[in-house]
Structure 1
Amino acid sequence: MTHSGAFMPSAAYDVAVTADIPHLLEILSKRLNNDPYAAIREYVSNAHDASRSYAASSIWIGCDDRSITIEDRGCGMTSEVIRTAFSRIGGHYKAGPNRGIGEFGLGVLTAFMIAERLVVETRSEGDAHGWRLEWLRGRQRFTLQAIPRTERGTTATLHLAEEHREMAYEPGIRDYVSRVLGLLPMPIHIGRSELPANPHHAWLTEQAPKGAGQLVSSPAAYDILRRYCQLDLIAAYGATGANGSRILLGIPSEKHCPLQRHKVQFFSRGVWVCGELAAFFPENLAFVVGVIDHPGFALQITRENLRTDRAFGEVRDSIEGHIIRFLELLGDRQPKLVTGVIETHSTMLNAHRLRQPRLRPLFRDHYRFHTSVGPKTWRELSKLAHSATVARTRHERLLFVLSESGADLQAQPMATRWGYPVVRAVNGDRDLLEDFGRSDGIEIADIGLLMKDAQDEVPEAFRGLAARLAPELHRHHVDAVKFFSLPGELLRPAELEIATVSPAHRPANETWVQVDSLMLNVAHPVVEMLAAIAPQLTNEALAEVTDALFAIAALQSPLHETQRRVTGIVVRQLLDGLEHSLGGRTAAAPRTTAQPRCFVALPYRPSFDPVWTAVREVLEAPPYGWTVIRADLDVREPSVLEGVLYHIENSRRFVADISGNSASVLIELGMMLQKDAQSTLLLADEQTFARLPADIKGAICMVYREELRNDPNEFGAWFAREILARKHFIAMHGGKALS
C-alpha cells in the first residue's frame, strides 16, 4: 500500500505503564526459570502471530556486539495497539479462539531480563508512517514517537545489559532457535543465512499426519524425534488428537533400553514448553518416546502447574490409546519388528497386559516363547499341542513347561517322545502361558517337576530297587536310575507311563545315540510292585526285570538307535514264553464247571473303546458265552499288579491288542504268554503288525485296519468273522469248535 505526502515529524510523548515493573520482573524471572533466551522466544512468538496471515512469511534475527534484533513483515502495530498493549501489563491485547502464541504484557517484559533498553519500530498497513517505542529498564513509562517507515511489520531491538552482551552471538542463538522454536510453523533466519534455523517449520501445518493415528516413515518425523529425544529409532507414529493437538511417537532401538527417564517433549504451536516429565506415559509404556504439540499449552507455565493443566490432562488421558494403536499397527504391517519390541520390553508390556486387554492379542500373535522346537508364538504352540493331541488320540490338549531357567529344553525325553514342545516358562512367561491355556482349553504341566530327579525324595523301597537294578543296567551302558512321578490323572484318559530313558547329549544331526539314565515312574503300579519285591528277586529274575524295563523305556523314548538295540530283547522274551508254553502244554485244557473267563488287555485310551465293545459283545454272546474281563474295569485289589496276576491265573483265554506298543499291554501280554501262549490271541493294527517277528505274525495275530477302531459295529463284524478261523482258540468249555 502506498501513501502520498511527506512525513511530518511530531514530538515524542510519554505513555505511563500501570504496573509495578520491578515486581513483575521478579515474578517473570521465576516463571521462566531464569532462562536468558526467553526474551527471544517471546518476541519471535509475537512476530509469528503478527505474520501468520501473510503468505511466505519469515522471521529474521540479527545481532551486533551490543544488541539482538527480531524482525518480521507482519501486520505491524498502530499507536492505539502500542499504547494499549504495552501499558497494560499482564494480558493479551486481543483474546479469542484464534489467539496467537506470544503474549503482550508479561511477554514483552522478558526483554528486560537481558536488556537495559528496548526499542520497537513498527508500521501497520493502514498507517502512512511508522511508530517508534523506546523503553528503559525499570521506568514506569515509555516514549512513543511517529517515524518515517515504508515497510509493514515490526523490528524489536534489545540493547543488552553489559552482563548479557555475550548472548549477541549467532551460533548460540541458532542453537536456541533450533531447539526451542524448532517446530514453529514459520522459517526463522539467523543473520544473513538463507537456510532457516528451524528446518522442520512446515511439520505441524503441512507434513504431520491428520486424523487417526498411523505409522509414519518420513525422514522429517524421524529427524524431529531424534533431535528432541536424542535416540536412534526403529519406528514412528503420528496422530492428530483432541483440540488440534499433534502427537508424534517413536520406539527406540534395543541398544537404548531401558530408558532412565520418560523421553517426551511438549510444544505449544511449535514452541517448546518443557520436557522429560516423570510418569507422563503409563509407567509400563515409558519405553516409547514422544513429541507432543497442543495449542492449549501456555508458554509461561511451570512443571508443577502443567500437571493440573486441562490441556495437559487431555493429552495424558489419551496417550495410552495412541501407544497401543502404535503397537497394533506395527503388528499388522511390520510383524517382525513388533515381535522384537514385545520381546525387548516383555516385562513391562506383560505387566500392563493385565489391565489393558488390547495387548493380549499382540502377545498371542507376536511374542515368541523359548521352546524345544525353537522360538514359537502362542498361536504356533497351540497348533503343536493340538497336533500332538490328535496323534495320541487324547481328549484334552497338553503343553509342557519348564520353569527352570538353566535346564536344557532338549533333554526332556518324555515330552519329546509324545511330540509335545517344551516351553521355558519363567517369571512373566509362565503367567502368559497359563492365561492363554485357560482361555484356549490347553492344560499346562510343569515337566520340570514331573521329571525331577527324586532320588532323595522317594521312599526307601524305591532307592533299594534302584540299587539292585544299577549293576544289571551296566550291560546296557546305562549308569543311573532316576525317578519321576506322572499320575494317570494328569493325562486323561489315564495312560500310565512306566519308564523312559534320558539322553546324555544330542548331537548336531539330532540323532539320539546315548542313554544317560533309566527313569522310572514311581506312580506306576508295576514300579510300586517291583520296589516291594526287589529284595526277594533272584539274580535270573532281576536280569529279566532289568531287560524288560530297559526295553519298555527304550521303545517309549525318542532314541531311535536304542530302540533298534532292544528289539532283540523283546523278541527273545516273547519267543521264550512261546517255547515254554508249547513245549510243556499240549493236552486239552481241563474242564471246569465255572463259567470260562477271557482276560482282555487294551491300551487305556478312548480310541480303543470300539475294540473293547466288539470283543466283549462277541465273546459274551452265543456260541461262546465267556466272561470277559479287563484290568482297568474289573481289578479291585489294592495293588493293580496283583489284581492283573490273579485274573490272568484264573482265565482260560487271553486277548491283547498290542497296537501302539502300550507299556501296560506289553506287561500284561508277557504274563498271558507265560500262563498259556496257545490260548492267547493278539490283535494289532497294520502299522504295529509290520514290526512284529515272523513267528508271531503267522501264529496268534489278527491284523486290522486302524480306521476300524472308529466304529464298534464294523469292528465287531470283523472280529466275529476272523475269530472263526481260530478254532483251537475258541474250543473250550462254554464254547465249541465250529466247522
Structure 2
Amino acid sequence: MSEGQENLRTTEVDLGGLVSVLATHLYSTPLVALRELVQNAHDSHTRRRLEDPAGAAAHEPRITVRADAARRTLAIEDTGAGLTEPEIHAYLATVGTGYTRLLREVTGNEELIGAFGLGFLSAFSVAEEVTVTTTSHREPALGHRYRSRGGEQYSVEPAPARPRPGTVVELTLKPEHAHLADEAALREVLGRYCVLLAVPVYVGDDQRPVNDIAVPWREPVPQARLYAARMEFATAFGRRFEPLAAFPFEPVDGGTDAVGLLWVQDGGTYGSSDNRDLAVYLRGMLLADDARDLLPSWAGFIGGVVESNRLTPTASREDLQRDEHYRHLQQALADAIVNGLYETARLHPAAWRRILARHGQDLLGAALCDERLFTLLADDVPVPTSQGDLTAGALRAAGGGAVHVALGSGGGFEEMLYRAMRVPIARGDRYAVLPFLRRYAQLRDCRIVELGSEDGNRELFRDPEQPLPAEELGWLTAALADEGEQLVPARFEPPGLPLVLVPDREAELKARIEDDQADARIPSAALRLARAFTARTDGGTRARLYLNTASPAVQDLLRAYRAGHTGSATAAGLLRSLKVIMAAAGATGSAGGDLGAALAGVGTAVAALTAPATDELSAGLDRILGDDPRGADPHGSDPRGDDPRGDDSRGDDSPREQGEGVR
C-alpha cells in the first residue's frame, strides 16, 4: 500500500445539515414539493405496470390530492406499486438513491420521471412532519407507516394494509406554507404541472381530473378539426394572451425527440419587448415553466408547450442543462416558428393579417435575423411611415421606385418637407426599420433615400442651376441661418417650400456620445463603435438649411435684394422667424434660434409690411411672400416674372439694405 493510500480518510457527512440545505435551499418555490410528490405517484403507477402488468390492468390508475385547511395538511394518494419495508429503508429514507432511476436504466422505459432520488426530500421544505402509509403490490396483506420530522430521523412501523396497493403521503404543513392547503389553488397549480400526465390527477372529491384536456399531438384528431383543436389547447394553456394562430412542433430526425405546440400570442410587442412563453415538460411533468431561452431572441411574440424524454434536468428539476439535446431543441424550435409562420400565411390569411397588424415592429427585427423570414415578410410586414403603416412595396411605389426613410424622428421643417413632398417617409428611428429597408432595397434592386444622411440629402437636394454670388450667399446666411446651421443653396420639390432645415444626424450622435455622462450610459464597445462612426465629422455643423432656389418666393426675394428694395430684409426675417417657429413646433433637437424673438419678429415684419408704402413696393413684397391678391397679370405676364423696367427702376431713392433681417 502506498503512502498516499495509507493516509486516505473517509469524508464525514453532517446528515442533518445536508438535509436542511437540500430541503430548504434546493428548490426555488414550495410548489416544487407538490410537483415532486405527484411525480413520484405517477412513477409508482408506471412501476406497477412494468412489474405487475396483470394487476395494473385490473384497476384504474389514479392520483388524488386532498387538502385540509383546518388541520393544515396536504395528502397525495396513488394506486400504484406501493413500497415494502426494505424499499422504504433503501429508497424512501436514503438521500440520492432512487428506485425509479434504477428501474429506468434496467427497463429502458422513458415514462419514468424521477432521476436523482431527491424528490421525496422536497416534502421537508414545506412540512413539519411527513407521514407515508403504503402497501406494496408484492405484499398486498401488509401495510407500513413511515414518519419523520425534519428528515434527519424517521420511524417505520406496521399499519393496516390499504384496500388496494398504493401509497398516501401526508404533509403536516409548516405555518408559513399553510396556504398550500387550499384546494382551489391546488387545482390551478396542478392543472399546469400535470396537464400532460397520462395518469388522471384529481383534487379533493372532484369527478373530473385537472388534466382532462385534449392534447392535439397525442390524440388522433380529424384533419378538418386539427387546427381548431390546436387553437383550443393554446387558448386553454395560454396564461396571458389570446393565441392568434397555432402550429405544431414535431420531432426532428437526428435532432430532438421533443413534440408539442407553438402559437403566436396576441400580446402587444414593440421592438425588444420579450413576451416569449415556453413551458417544457419532461416525460409528462412540468420541468420549466419559463424556458424562454429555448426560443429565438427575436420571437418575443411566441408561446408554446413542448415535451421531451431526452432533455436533462438540473438536480432541482426546475431547469434544463445546456447540453447537446438542449441546443438541438433550440434550433428545431427556431425552424418550427419560421415554418409555422409560412403555413399561417398560406393557409390562414385572416390570422396572418392579424399577426402582421399586431406584431409588425417585432417582425421587422425578426426578418433581419432569419433569411427565410425576410423572404416571407419583405412585401407584407407593415413599416411605420409619415402616412401611417405601409408595406415596403407600397413605399417603393409611392416614391416612384425609391424608398424614402428619415434617419431622425422628424419634426420642424424636416416634417414639413415630407408632407409637402406628398411621399410617405419611413420612420428610420423606429426599431429595425432602417436595416430592414436597406435589405429590402438590395432584394428588390431599388433606390433607398436616407434623409438626414449625406448621400440621401445629396440625392434629395440637387445643386442649383447657377451658383449664388458670394455677396448674396453671405447676406442670406446672415439673414436666415443660426449658429451651427450651414446655408446650402439647392433645388428640391415642391417649389412652394422655400427652405428646409435638416439636422445633421452624425453631429447629433457625436454630441450625445461626447456627453460627460455617456460613458455611464453606453457600453464601452458600443461607445467605441459610435465614436469611430462619428470621427469624420467635427460636430460644428448641427444642421443644414437648404434654400430652394427653384422657389418663386426665393427668386422674388433675391430680385428684391438685387433691386435694393427696403423690404427685402423684412421678408427674409419673416422667413427666418417662420423657420424657427416650425422647428420649435416640431420639437427637433437641432432647432436653432430663440422662439420668443422669432414670434416678436413676426410682429415686427407684419408692422413693416403694413406701414404706408408705395403701391409698387407693396406689390413687390406681396409677390415675395406669395400673397399677391391680383393673381395672374391681366395683360398675360407672370406676376412673378422679371420687372420689365429692370432692377434699376427704383433709382437712387431705394438704397440696398444689408441688415441681418428680423431676429
What is the distance in 2 between the residues matched to 1:299 and 1:37? Answer: 17
Which of 293, 310, 313 is the equivalent residue of 2:307? 293
Q: Which secondary structure does the structure 1 equivalent of 2:379 belong to?
A: helix
> Hey, what does 1:193 align to over in structure 2?
206
Normalised TM-score (structure 1): 0.52
Contact 1:453 1:483 in 2 (8 A): no
* Pairing 1:607-618 to 2, within 5 Å after superposition: none
1:485 is the counterpart of 2:490: yes
Q: Which secondary structure does the structure 2 equivalent of 1:160 belong to?
A: strand
* Pairing 1:99-138 to 2, within 5 Å after superposition: 99=110, 100-102=112-114, 105-113=117-125, 114=127, 116-124=129-137, 129-137=141-149, 138=151
Task: Evaluate the alpha carbon distance shift between residue 43 and residue 438 of structure 1 in structure 2; reply closer, same or farther with a 3 A threshold.
Answer: closer
Per-residue Cα deviation, 1:602-636 (whole angstroms, up to 9, x for no partner): xxxxxxxxxxxxxxxxxxxxxxxxxxxxxxxxxxx
* 1:121 positional shift: 1.9
> Hey, what does 1:252 align to over in structure 2?
265
Instruction: Return the letter of the residue paired with 2:118.
Output: L
1:157 is the counterpart of 2:169: yes
What is the distance in 1 between the residues matched to 2:285 and 2:493? Answer: 74
Contact 1:267 1:297 in 2 (8 A): no
What is the distance in 2 between the residues matched to 1:570 and 1:374? Answer: 42
> Hey, what does 1:520 align to over in structure 2?
549
Q: Which secondary structure does the structure 2 equivalent of 1:264 belong to?
A: strand
* 1:305 positional shift: 6.7
1:432 is the counterpart of 2:436: yes
1:379 is the counterpart of 2:373: no
> Hey, what does 2:103 align to over in structure 1?
94
What is the distance in 1 between the residues matched to 2:344 and 2:462? Answer: 45
> Hey, what does 2:74 align to over in structure 1?
68
Instruction: Return the letter of the residue paired with 1:49.
Output: D
* Pairing 1:685-724 to 2, within 5 Å after superposition: none
Task: Evaluate the alpha carbon distance shift between residue 459 and residue 370 of structure 1 in structure 2; reply closer, same or farther with a 3 A threshold.
Answer: farther
Task: Evaluate the alpha carbon distance shift between residue 94 and residue 87 of structure 1 in structure 2; reply closer, same or farther with a 3 A threshold.
Answer: farther
Instruction: Return the letter of the residue paired with 1:106.
Output: L
Task: Evaluate the alpha carbon distance shift between residue 483 and residue 280 of structure 1 in structure 2; reply closer, same or farther with a 3 A threshold.
Answer: same
Task: Evaluate the alpha carbon distance shift between residue 93 and residue 570 of structure 1 in structure 2; reply closer, same or farther with a 3 A threshold.
Answer: same
* 1:225 positional shift: 1.6
Instruction: Return the letter of the residue paired with 1:98.
Output: N
> Hey, what does 2:342 align to over in structure 1?
328
Which of 31, 45, 55 is the equivalent residue of 2:39? 45
> Hey, what does 2:645 align to over in structure 1?
none
Contact 1:402 1:446 in 2 (8 A): yes
> Hey, what does 2:449 align to over in structure 1?
445
Task: Evaluate the alpha carbon distance shift between residue 80 and residue 408 of structure 1 in structure 2; reply closer, same or farther with a 3 A threshold.
Answer: same
Unaligned runs of 5+ in 1: 1-18, 389-396, 468-481, 487-496, 505-517, 555-561, 574-739
Which of 423, 426, 450 is the equivalent residue of 2:425? 423
* 1:224 positional shift: 0.5
Per-residue Cα deviation, 1:29-81 (whole angstroms, up to 9, x for no partner): 15642644444322321222233556763211224426433222334456675
> Hey, what does 2:523 align to over in structure 1?
none
**Cα-Cα RMSD:** 5.6
What is the distance in 2 between the residues matched to 1:181 and 1:354? Answer: 38
What is the distance in 1 between the residues matched to 2:469 and 2:335? Answer: 57
What is the distance in 2 between the residues matched to 1:132 and 1:339? Answer: 63
Task: Evaluate the alpha carbon distance shift between residue 432 and residue 104 of structure 1 in structure 2; reply closer, same or farther with a 3 A threshold.
Answer: closer
> Hey, what does 2:233 align to over in structure 1?
220
Instruction: Return the letter of the residue paired with 1:234.
Output: L
Instruction: Return the letter of the residue paired with 1:160.
Output: T
Greater relative contact order structure (CA < 8 Å, 6+ sep): 2
Q: Which secondary structure does the structure 1 equivalent of 2:103 belong to?
A: coil
Task: Evaluate the alpha carbon distance shift between residue 484 and residue 370 of structure 1 in structure 2; reply closer, same or farther with a 3 A threshold.
Answer: farther
* 1:446 positional shift: 5.2
Per-residue Cα deviation, 1:700-723 (whole angstroms, up to 9, x for no partner): xxxxxxxxxxxxxxxxxxxxxxxx
> Hey, what does 2:190 align to over in structure 1?
177
The structure that has the greater radius of gyration is: 1
* Pairing 1:327-346 to 2, within 5 Å after superposition: 327-334=341-348, 338=352, 341=355
Task: Evaluate the alpha carbon distance shift between residue 185 and residue 115 of structure 1 in structure 2; reply closer, same or farther with a 3 A threshold.
Answer: farther
* Pairing 1:636-655 to 2, within 5 Å after superposition: none
Contact 2:133 2:144 in 1 (8 A): yes
* 1:145 positional shift: 4.8
What is the distance in 2 between the residues matched to 1:566 and 1:247? Answer: 78
What is the distance in 1 between the residues matched to 2:311 and 2:286? Answer: 10
Unaligned runs of 5+ in 2: 1-12, 50-55, 478-486, 500-546, 566-615, 641-663
Per-residue Cα deviation, 1:328-378 (whole angstroms, up to 9, x for no partner): 333334556556655665555444544421232244121234567764322
* 1:381 positional shift: 4.1
Contact 1:184 1:201 in 2 (8 A): no
Task: Evaluate the alpha carbon distance shift between residue 459 and residue 285 of structure 1 in structure 2; reply closer, same or farther with a 3 A threshold.
Answer: farther
Contact 1:499 1:519 in 2 (8 A): no
Task: Evaluate the alpha carbon distance shift between residue 411 and residue 156 of structure 1 in structure 2; reply closer, same or farther with a 3 A threshold.
Answer: same
Contact 1:296 1:311 in 2 (8 A): yes
What is the distance in 1 between the residues matched to 2:352 and 2:296? Answer: 19
Task: Evaluate the alpha carbon distance shift between residue 412 and residue 276 of structure 1 in structure 2; reply closer, same or farther with a 3 A threshold.
Answer: closer
Length, aligned pairs only:
483
What is the distance in 2 between the residues matched to 1:348 and 1:381? Answer: 19
What is the distance in 2 between the residues matched to 1:252 and 1:337? Answer: 11
Instruction: Return the letter of the residue paired with 2:80.
Output: G
Greater mean alpha carbon deviation, residues 284-293 or residues 400-409: 400-409
* 1:442 positional shift: 1.8
* 1:325 positional shift: 3.0
